[in-house]
Structure 1
Amino acid sequence: MFMIFVSYKRKKIIQKDNRRKGEIMTKSKETGWNFDNSYARLPKSLFSSINPTPVRSPKLIILNQQLANSLGLNVQALQSEDGIAVLAGNQIPKDAFPLAQAYAGHQFGHFNMLGDGRAVLLGEQVPPKGERIDIQLKGSGRTPYSRGGDGRAALGPMLREYIISEAMHALGIPTTRSLAVVKTGESVIRETELPGAILTRVAASHLRVGTFQYVAKWGTVEELRILADYTLKRHFPDVEPDESRYLSLLKEVIKRQAELIARWQLVGFIHGVMNTDNMTISGETIDYGPCAFMDAYDPATVFSSIDIQGRYAYGNQPNIGGWNLARFAESLLPLLHDYQEEAVELAREAISSYPALYNLNWLTGMRAKLGIFNEEQQDQSLIEDLLSMMNKYRVDYTNTFRALTFDTTGDNTLFGTDEFKQWDELWQARLGRQEESKASSHQLMRNSNPALIPRNHRVEEALEAAVGQGDYSVMERLLDVLSNPYAHSNVQAEYTTLTESTTPYRTFCGT
């Protein structure tokens, strides 16, 4: 069971209100910017007003034209000098209200005061059709929450977020997205000198579990109520505005996170840094720092260089999701009930539903990966037996399911074993006990098992060409094949092969 800790300690932090000075208006109408910033109307303790720090000579590296169109933006205008100036933080669109959000979070289990240390939320784009969308500049300079950092970002990590976030979107997984990457014309110093860049990140919102933790720890109960009501209105408008609405908020967030993490597991995605400040209330994947996709199936797989203990290993992600949700529940306790014991009981009951919700989503997805439409009690053991064999023989996760989909089992060490042959007989018998045809099962598997993922060596290859040589064609080709992962086209075939490197792959936060 995920523990609920009780704390009603309140201590308000007063932030200096950095009002905008000398705001520069751009040709917002021509570009299609239609800004509002409802977050700026929340209590001032939740953010600091601050402009991005201008950069020397911005250059547009990549623009997500499809995403731009869906946001109601003019692609041609975005590529103009004025358009690039906005994406670089050198100009502020009309009606934008730049700010850095305050939040807290448990980082590897330890609670810290955090906040946007290198990002500025310009505001919310309100498209002609659809819901308002956050527009955030990542790497846009220091803020009051920078904690000694320079507030900047390097080109490589920003391009990496662009690649992985767009691949996740194509896989059908809720995620923040990337509108553009702009080189700043300035260097950042990490282990070495690196070219600087700014990523324009698009999100349903940047509300996090850590946002609620921040207000619960240092704000007032009234501020917590205002934040919760704002969240309900923005993300859960169908929730009835009655006395139980905050319990409904908790339950809705639990549902979304159970579905999200199950989807991660189904494609072998490892987030790498599942701190509570990296867990969105909207149910979108956020923060593509040390993330990567698993090759050989192994629940203990860790890529992050800083995750020494394997806290955020692939197999731990579902439980960490529940742990994070328990922290969210704690922050809501003052709103759940006037009496502490009653509030804790309501929270515990809600959190207790998470394991079953996660397992239902995961099991439904795994059935689809094996072409199974209906439900039988033995399905979970059938699936777990396959995964156990995959782990034993160190076979590739994505390619194994792809081979099962197309019955191309000749080049996989697992498929020649007696263990697999016995399992295969059980699987075929299972498929024979459902009404759907073999062709229908095959189509279900095609739609559930991607042809390819962003292979780690392919991503590194693209970044090396882009950052090291100024050649963006490798990245462009990779993005193209990743844009439709269920196409199973001949062009994608070369991107399914594994690297022969024996060196363990390591990822970094990129801060």
Structure 2
Amino acid sequence: MSTTTIALGDRFARDLPELAVPWKAEAVPDPRLLVLDEALAADLGLDPAWLRTDAGVRLLVGTGVPEGAAPVAQAYAGHQFGGFSPRLGDGRALLLGELTDSRGEVRDLHLKGSGRTPFARGGDGLAAVGPMLREYVVSRAMHGLGIPTTRSLAVVATGRTVHRETPLPGAVLARVASSHLRVGTFQYARGTGNADLLRRLADHAIARHHPAAADYRALFDAVVAAQASLVARWMLVGFVHGVMNTDNMTISGETIDYGPCAFMDAYDPATVYSSIDHGGRYAYGNQPIVAMWNLARLAEALLPLFDEVEEKAIERAMESLERFKPLYDAAWAAGMRAKLGLPAGLDETVAVALAEELLTLLRDGRADYTSFFRDLATAARGAADPARSHLLDLAAFEQWRERWYATGPDADAMDRVNPVYVPRNHLVEEALAAAVVDDDLTPVERLVDAVSTPYDERPGLDRYAAPAPPDFGAYRTFCGT
């Protein structure tokens, strides 16, 4: 394989030139491949062995793109922590182009940390090894959990020093997505005042992601449904995105931008891991509310396409937006029913009450969210008492357990939806420190191996299933810019 045999499409740039600034990646002093998802590469028609060559690594950092490729920095706007920025865009990223995977689906090949673009807003356009490996680990875990996500193809060390609070080794992340269309993309298009651009963007989104949508309101309905399902899945596994700005919400319904993200340790709806989320706007328990708020911003951007009469457009937008909560509630309830192994015939009100009562017990006892549900399946088999090991209120839990056990929970079904392994925060930090400080990628590779098949308990991986040690302390994550 060579770059001449790789065809990178440029449909986004051709369809929407107003949103695409032609640009090139910066030269990289000493590129060195750190990690590569070989299965993903093969699915994209890329030879993993070739990607490990000098030419392949140059592709992964954007300095060796195939002839005819047209890399662009994408324009978008966004509400960041509630404040609107009319011009954000790919300040340190490039869309190299589009590939077609083994199922015939179009996928973006996109870089992060490839240098300053016209959207850099004073930033250096670079990325550090630690945050890029974090995205690699967590996106691999999300894919393993079956949650729609952008995927990390590779992380390449650049040989360049990146200056943040301290000097850090630089890196470029190559990631893959169904597209990088965001709520913020529509906000930008609406902000231009170009009605034709907004319409062409919506047509592009329908063709690429929601071809069954018969009109623009149906497009919005499809995005509402996709996001309701996605956020419910986040909540069910204890994932905290950390920075749910409108430029970080996709039209496809994929999780994007793994900055200050983390998986919850002790169950608490108020959990915040991001160092910059001082007010808790993006706390774990707020994620469904924020998702609906973001979708309202999308509706505002799409109003001219809903109806020429603004009052009618707003009425239609509100009708569609009001679908989010029942869709989310239904997805969450179905997921919780599965996590508790409840039979299909059990009344929905009873099932939801059991789930909510249990979560109150977990919050009051600060029980480890991931391991508790796995232990509960063991209890369904009559072999464990999770209340004692997780320090729950014994009397209250026993009352709950008797009612739950009387439903006849299916332990095997519980094991299929309750993961053994997630990227536990202490293990992520341990792995990143080994990679950055000691240039040792073994801990990253072992962690990725565990979380890539999260539901299957395997010998020798006990430490990847264990909660954080008591001395781990309060955890904070950083966005990496």
The normalised TM-score by structure 2 is 0.96
Look up the match of 1:114.
88
CA distance in 2, matches of 1:270, 1:353: 23
Secondary structure, in 3 states, of the residue corresponding to 1:191? coil
Indicate whether 1:428 and 2:400 are aligned.
no
CA shift, 1:27, in A, is 2.3
Match of 1:165 in 2: 139
CA contact (8 A) 1:57 1:185 kept: yes
Aligned residues of 2:182 and 2:246 also touching (Cα < 8 A): yes
Measured after TM superposition, the shift of residue 45 of structure 1 is 2.0
Q: Which residue does 1:319 correspond to in 2? A: 289
Residue 352 (str. 1) matches residue 322 (str. 2): yes
Aligned equivalents of 1:128, 1:264: Cα separation in 2: 27
The whole-number CA distance in structure 1 between the counterparts of 2:104 and 2:391 is: 47
Superposed counterparts of 1:213-224, under 5 Å:
213-224=187-198
8 A contact 2:24–2:63 mirrored in 1: no
Alignment counterpart, residue 367 of structure 1, candidates 337, 341, 345:
337
Corresponding residue for 2:354? 382
2:462 alignment partner, one of 493, 500, 503: 493
SS in 1 for 2:406: helix
Q: How far apart, CA to CA, are the structure 2 residues paired with 1:185 and 1:404?
A: 47
Helix, strand or coil: the match of 2:169?
strand
Aligned to 1:74: 47
Deviation at 1:483, TM superposition (A): 1.1
Q: 1:309 maps to what in 2?
A: 279
Q: Tell me the equivalent position of 1:11.
A: none
The answer as to whether partners of 1:34 and 1:127 remain within 8 angstroms in 2 is: no
Which stretch has the larger CA shift, 213-222 or 356-365? 213-222
Distance 1:195 1:477 in 2: 22
1:409 paired with 2:389, answer no
| Structure 2, unpaired ranges of 5+ | none
| Map of 1:86 onto structure 2 | 59
Q: Does 1:54 align with 2:6?
A: no
The 1-side partners of 2:109 and 2:72 are apart by 11
The structure-2 alpha-carbon separation of the partners of 1:415 and 1:189, relative to structure 1 and needing over 3 Å to count, comes to closer
Is structure 2 residue 363 aligned with structure 1 residue 391? yes
Alpha-carbon RMSD: 1.3
- Closer, same or farther in 2 for the Cα pair 1:76/1:48, shift >3 Å? same
Deviations 1:388-444 (A, max 9, x none): 00001111111110110112325524456000000001101223xxxxxx6xx1121
Secondary structure of the equivalent of 1:272?
coil
* 1:204 alignment counterpart: 178
Shift of 1:129: 3.6
TM-score scaled by structure 1? Answer: 0.90
Quick one: which of 254, 258, 261 aligns to 2:228?
258
Tell me by how many angstroms 1:217 deviates: 1.1
What CA distance in whole angstroms lies between the structure 1 residues aligned with 2:4 and 2:372?
A: 50
- The 2-side partners of 1:35 and 1:60 are apart by 21
Q: Amino acid of the residue matched to residue 35 of structure 1?
A: L
Change in CA separation of 1:246 and 1:75 when aligned onto 2, cut-off 3 Å: same
Q: Deviations over 1:103-136 (max 9, x none)?
A: 0000000000200000000000123542110001
Please report how far the alpha carbon of residue 453 of structure 1 lies from its aligned counterpart in structure 2 after TM superposition.
0.9
CA distance in 1, matches of 2:193, 2:248: 20
Report the counterpart of residue 99 of structure 1 in structure 2.
72
Q: Provide the residue aligned with 1:481 in structure 2.
A: 450
Q: Is the 8 A contact 1:329 1:347 kept in 2?
A: yes
Structure 1 residues 128 and 380, CA, compared in 2 at 3 Å: closer, same or farther? Answer: closer
2:104 is aligned with 1:127: no
Q: Structure 2 vs 1, CA of residues 59 and 502 (structure 1 numbering), >3 Å: closer, same or farther?
A: closer
- Separation in 2 of the partners of 1:293 and 1:453? 7
Aligned partner of 1:216: which letter? R
- Residues 166-204 of structure 1 deviation map (CA, whole Å, 9 limit, x = unaligned): 111001100000001111111111111111100001000
**Distance change (3 Å), C-alpha of 1:413 and 1:90:** closer
The residue that corresponds to 1:13 in the other structure is: none
What CA distance in whole angstroms lies between the structure 1 residues aligned with 2:252 and 2:419? 25
Query: What residue number does 2:299 align with?
Result: 329
Decide whether the 8 Å contact of 2:75 with 2:89 is kept in 1.
Answer: yes
Q: How many residues align?
A: 472
Q: What letter is aligned with 1:47?
A: A
Q: CA deviation at 1:493?
A: 2.0
Give, in angstroms, the shift of residue 149 of structure 1: 0.4
Q: Which amino acid aligns with 2:389?
A: N
- What does 1:220-259 correspond to in 2, within 5 Å? 220-240=194-214, 245-259=215-229
Distance 1:74 1:50 in 2: 26
In the alignment, which of 238, 252, 272 is matched to residue 282 of structure 1? 252
1:128-167 deviation digits (Å, cap 9, x = unpaired): 5421100011100010000000101001100110000111
2:79 partner SS: strand
SS at match of 1:85: helix
Greater shift, 369-378 or 58-67, is seen at 369-378
Q: Note if contact 1:55-1:89 (Cα within 8 Å) is conserved in structure 2.
A: no
Query: Cα distance, 1:285 vs. partner?
Result: 0.3
Cross-structure match for 2:17: 44
1:213 and 1:157 map into 2 onto residues whose CA distance is 27
**Contact 2:131-2:480 within 8 A present in 1 as well:** yes
How much identity, in percent, do the aligned residues show?
Answer: 52
User: Does residue 28 of structure 1 match 2:3?
Assistant: yes
- Following superposition, the deviation at residue 95 of structure 1 comes to 3.0
Kindly indicate whether residue 479 of structure 2 is the aligned counterpart of residue 509 of structure 1.
yes
Q: Deviations over 1:447-476 (max 9, x none)?
A: 110002100000000001011001111111
